[in-house]
Amino acid sequence: MSFMKIYHIALSAAMSLCAIAATAQVKEDFVSSPNNQPGKEYPMVNSERCVRVKVKAPEAQSVKLDIGGVKYDLVKDAEGFWTGESAPQDEGFHYYQLNIDGADVPDPSSLYYYGASRWGSGIDVPAADQDFYAVKNVPQGQMREIYYWSEVNQAMRHCFVYTPADYDQNKDKRYPVLYLQHGGGENEYGWPQQGHTAQIMDNLIAEGKAVPFIIVMENGSWTMPRPAAGAPAMQRPQGQRPPQGQGQRPQGGRPQGGGFGMPANWADGFANTLIKDVIPMIDSRFRTIADKEHRAMAGLSMGGMQTKAITVAHPEVFSNLGIFSGGTITVDDTKNNPEFAKDLKLVFVSFGSRELENRVAGFGDGTDPRQETEALAASGVNAHFYVSPGTAHEWQSWRRALYQFAQLLFK
Amino acid sequence: MSFMKIYHIALSAAMSLCAIAATAQVKEDFVSSPNNQPGKEYPMVNSERCVRVKVKAPEAQSVKLDIGGVKYDLVKDAEGFWTGESAPQDEGFHYYQLNIDGADVPDPSSLYYYGASRWGSGIDVPAADQDFYAVKNVPQGQMREIYYWSEVNQAMRHCFVYTPADYDQNKDKRYPVLYLQHGGGENEYGWPQQGHTAQIMDNLIAEGKAVPFIIVMENGSWTMPRPAAGAPAMQRPQGQRPPQGQGQRPQGGRPQGGGFGMPANWADGFANTLIKDVIPMIDSRFRTIADKEHRAMAGLSMGGMQTKAITVAHPEVFSNLGIFSGGTITVDDTKNNPEFAKDLKLVFVSFGSRELENRVAGFGDGTDPRQETEALAASGVNAHFYVSPGTAHEWQSWRRALYQFAQLLFK
């Protein structure tokens, strides 16, 4: 898949940059990370965007900081604390971990996030534009955690639903809905936590830059495993904080043997869940405007590819879409899918500048998403292209993409 | 404080039990924990309630499992994996960690919870009665994450609000409210995550055993630190997943130097926040029945002590209270506080059987909470006492306490 290729090329580019920077003197203006556990001084970040960690491991022989695909050796002091820093990182959010005598473990001083197929450490490098996702004293929406029964999966599933600030005040008002998906190795916690979805939307709505709408965040990676006797823990969606007790299978419900009517393909698999279960559930539990003009799908990376696959295949469901670092919509896509093209209201395509440069330089598939999107716009589609400056295939690109996309949506 | 004394005695008792059991042969019927990260086989629990962990640390000299106040040595295999198990644990939830060559770190295979003043590993030992907090296919409430401006703290604060399943269906119905507090070293994530508050309530309401009510979970440990220049990370509540960007202080808001009108005492400090900020915010954002007869406070351990202090001091605000492993209400309490006693609708007091035995045996303050509660009931107060069988000062006691308390409340 081309996005993986892009990702690895972007990673290699970042590594080279770090290796050069690491040889220079480190600037001693480190401040605590906003992602630290309460009361913890470390990890810290300096004005050159280097990350410094500190961990107590008095009997260890080797401790490393593993961030951005590079492992940095830490140095031990007399009290048994290991300290060291990375080369400069991009602005925004990064997953990382420590390696203690060969054991990959979370940093006990950081908060934890789900990405790279694990719950582990994350750190935010201060960004010049971080104000747009800060918690501010503006009218506040709500991030709601929801369980629901999925017929497709024959199991209880779990999602988050953002409702805008006025949702509970205007009891008869109905709202458009955006279905917003995470990337590969991530889950439904990505947009609420790393993505700061609620803060981005609250701030945009408060400034009058976006119309209020509902956002639904589900787990697009889940494929139902074959149930093993006596192993309820295996029945929960990938990456999800599971319920305790009898696991997620409700009493009396029993999955049929393997398959559950879901194709092996992840995109089709999530399409069934989304179209047959999630959307009807949202339309019944929330005051939505339940038509395609007022329904959008967007996603990052794998979620962007799912967005394209699902919106093209279901023009009766969606008229608006956003693809963040996950491909493009071309003129051919509209020509080959007239039903999809017919009522298309909005197409939004975005990339981080670093990943885009690599793609256009031919390290990806060699196509130029900007040109493709401009051609699409020239063909009469309401198509927009956005590039996140100075970022790669990472969360700062996607926070910014949501910020831009939300200002165009449902207007 | 007597609860700390009880806690440490209970811990010592558990340690003795474990030490005896650890000498016996381990039963080989381990199954994966429901608190594992997705796709992880370990940690596992067997039918004797022993916890087995496995972690890769090829170059480590020593790896230990640290659970229930005891450190258990793990054994290394040829591939560099360390494995070993604890003595039997009580049914229910336990915090734990690994120690790798002297470094205390979370188990990279478990989900993470906030307790013992840190985000770290947790594991659920299957309980005979775990059905009451299982996710079931019943009408589902919502767990809502909320930010709000606190005048008392001159900062944005963060809480969770559970709304019952019919809240969004009956648009004109108003609901009673329970303010439910965590214990020391925990935060507002405790009841939603470890406590399974939403599942307990959804199941009780579906069975007709509880009336629907709203539950508010805030952070009772927070005292506002003096703001340090350039250190926005220090301005967030203890234990809270922080916002990124400019930290929690809204733009334009500037805390005055030290104090912020809050007494040093934690109970009074949270009283101000609760009474002046949280309750008015909840009454304005949610369809509450905003009188004392339809308002309750309850809490576990430190939260129970806060409940007593705040409800006794504010009889104009609360008529219902629950104290889980955090003290009692005595006949003297009502005699000395006639305003508090006058309209008292419900008093609920509970303990885990292990901590209660120690307290009554005189290792605590020597009083007998059951006798005190029975005396209170005999004096004419609607007072109830509950003992969680076979558990100590731990979450299984408090899940059960909520389950019992909720069936008595607002009826």
- pLDDT band for position B360 (50/70/90)? confident
Residue A214's identity, in one-letter code, is I
**What pTM does this model have?**
0.88
CA distance B390 to B89: 11
- pLDDT higher at A5 or B35: B35
Please tell me which residue of chain B has the smallest CA distance to A195. B244
- Considering Cα of B257, then B261, then B262, then B263, what sign does the dihedral take? positive
List CB contacts (< 8 A) between B246 and chain A.
130-131, 134
Among A57-66, A357-366, B48-57, B311-320, the minimum mean pLDDT is found in: A357-366
Q: Is residue A341 part of a domain?
A: yes
Kindly tell me if the per-residue pLDDT of B335 is higher than 80: yes
| Cβ atoms B310, B297 nearer than 8 A | yes
Q: How many domains does chain A have?
A: 2
Residue A315, pLDDT score: 97
Residue B269, pLDDT score: 72
Q: Is residue B256 part of a domain?
A: yes
- pLDDT band for position B268 (50/70/90)? low
Select from A112, A137, A171 the Cβ nearest to the Cβ of B149.
A137
Select from A55, A238, A245 the Cβ nearest to the Cβ of B130.
A245
- pLDDT higher at B208 or B25: B208
Q: Is residue B171 part of a domain?
A: yes
Select from A146, A244, A246 the Cβ nearest to the Cβ of B140.
A146
Q: Per-residue pLDDT tens for B21-44?
A: 445 689 999 999 999 999 999 999
- pLDDT higher at B348 or A18: B348
Determine contact: A173 vs chain B, CB below 8 A: no
Q: Which H/E stretch holds residue B20? A: helix B2-21
- pLDDT band for position A363 (50/70/90)? low
Residue A221, pLDDT score: 86
Task: Say whether both A33 and A153 belong to one domain.
Answer: no
CA distance B318 to B314: 7
Task: Say whether both B118 and B149 belong to one domain.
Answer: no
CA distance B272 to B263: 9
Residue A359, pLDDT score: 80
Average the pLDDT over B304-323 and give the result.
Answer: 97
CA distance A365 to A358: 10
Contact state of A233 with B31 under an 8 Å Cβ cutoff: yes
Determine contact: B116 vs chain A, CB below 8 A: no
Please tell me which residue of chain B has the smallest CA distance to A229. B31
What residue ranges in B196-266 does DSSP mark as E strands? 214-217
Q: Per-residue pLDDT tens for A19-52?
A: 444 456 899 999 999 999 999 999 999 999 999 9
Q: Is residue A36 part of a domain?
A: yes
Contact state of A55 with B103 under an 8 Å Cβ cutoff: yes
Contact state of A108 with B112 under an 8 Å Cβ cutoff: no
List CB contacts (< 8 A) between A80 and chain B.
102
Contact state of B38 with A199 under an 8 Å Cβ cutoff: no
Q: Which of residues 305-324 of B touch A (CB under 8 A)?
A: none
Bridge partners, A387 (sequence order): A351
Kindly tell me if the per-residue pLDDT of A16 is higher than 60: no
Task: Say whether both A151 and A14 belong to one domain.
Answer: no
Q: Which of A126, A141, A157 is the last residue of a domain?
A: A126
- pLDDT higher at A357 or B322: B322
Kindly tell me if the per-residue pLDDT of A53 is higher than 90: yes
Distance from CA of A19 to the nearest CA of B (A): 26
Query: Which of B121, B133, B147, B284 to mutate against chain A (most A CBs within 10 Å)?
Result: B147
Kindly tell me if the per-residue pLDDT of B326 is higher than 80: yes
Residue B221, pLDDT score: 86
Distance from CA of B406 to the nearest CA of A (A): 19
Determine contact: A131 vs chain B, CB below 8 A: yes
Percentage of chain B surpassing pLDDT 90?
78
Among A286-295, A358-367, B117-126, B144-153, the minimum mean pLDDT is found in: A358-367
Q: Which of B126, B148, B164 is the last residue of a domain?
A: B126
CA distance B32 to A232: 9
Residue B24, pLDDT score: 60
Determine contact: A33 vs chain B, CB below 8 A: yes
Task: Say whether both A172 and A103 belong to one domain.
Answer: no
Bridge partners, B121 (sequence order): B96, B112
Give me chain A's average pLDDT, please: 86
Residue A364, pLDDT score: 65
Determine contact: B267 vs chain A, CB below 8 A: no
Bridge partners, B54 (sequence order): B83
Task: Say whether both A116 and A10 belong to one domain.
Answer: yes
Contact state of B148 with A156 under an 8 Å Cβ cutoff: no
Q: Is residue B370 part of a domain?
A: yes
Task: Say whether both A115 and A140 belong to one domain.
Answer: no
Kindly tell me if the per-residue pLDDT of B304 is higher than 90: yes
Q: Which of B126, B156, B190 is the last residue of a domain?
A: B126
Task: Say whether both B256 and B392 belong to one domain.
Answer: yes
Contact state of B106 with A103 under an 8 Å Cβ cutoff: no
- pLDDT higher at B337 or B255: B337
Determine contact: B199 vs chain A, CB below 8 A: yes
Contact state of A56 with B102 under an 8 Å Cβ cutoff: yes
Determine contact: B396 vs chain A, CB below 8 A: no
- What is the number of other CB atoms lying within 10 angstroms of the CB of residue B277? 18
Size of the A and B interface in Cβ pairs below 8 Å:
268
User: CATH number of the domain that A393 lies in?
Assistant: 3.40.50.1820
Distance from CA of B9 to the nearest CA of A (A): 28
Kindly tell me if the per-residue pLDDT of A91 is higher than 70: yes
Contacts (Cβ under 8 Å, ≥6 apart) of A3: A301, A302, A304, A305, A325, A326, A327, A393
- pLDDT higher at A268 or B222: A268
Task: Say whether both A288 and A372 belong to one domain.
Answer: yes
Q: Is residue B285 part of a domain?
A: yes
Task: Tell me how many degrees the CA angle B278-B280-B286 measures, rounded to the nearest 5.
Answer: 95
Percentage of chain A surpassing pLDDT 90?
78
Percentage of chain B surpassing pLDDT 70?
82
Q: Is residue A235 part of a domain?
A: no
CA distance A92 to B114: 25
Contact state of B101 with A98 under an 8 Å Cβ cutoff: no
Task: Say whether both B297 and B396 belong to one domain.
Answer: yes
Kindly tell me if the per-residue pLDDT of B16 is higher than 90: no
- pLDDT higher at B258 or B142: B142
Residue A349, pLDDT score: 98
List CB contacts (< 8 A) between B196 and chain A.
243-245
Task: Say whether both A204 and A177 belong to one domain.
Answer: yes
Task: Say whether both A92 and A155 belong to one domain.
Answer: no
Task: Say whether both A108 and A167 belong to one domain.
Answer: no
Kindly tell me if the per-residue pLDDT of A266 is higher than 80: no
Residue B38, pLDDT score: 92
User: CATH number of the domain that A32 lies in?
Assistant: 2.60.40.10
Query: Which of A61, A99, A100, A135 to mutate against chain B (most B CBs within 10 Å)?
Result: A135
Q: Is residue B234 part of a domain?
A: no
Dihedral pair phi/psi, residue A152, rounded to 5°? -60, -45
- Considering Cα of B285, then B286, then B287, then B291, what sign does the dihedral take? negative
Contact state of B101 with A58 under an 8 Å Cβ cutoff: yes
Kindly tell me if the per-residue pLDDT of A167 is higher than 70: yes
Q: For residue A105, give its domain range.
A: 2-126
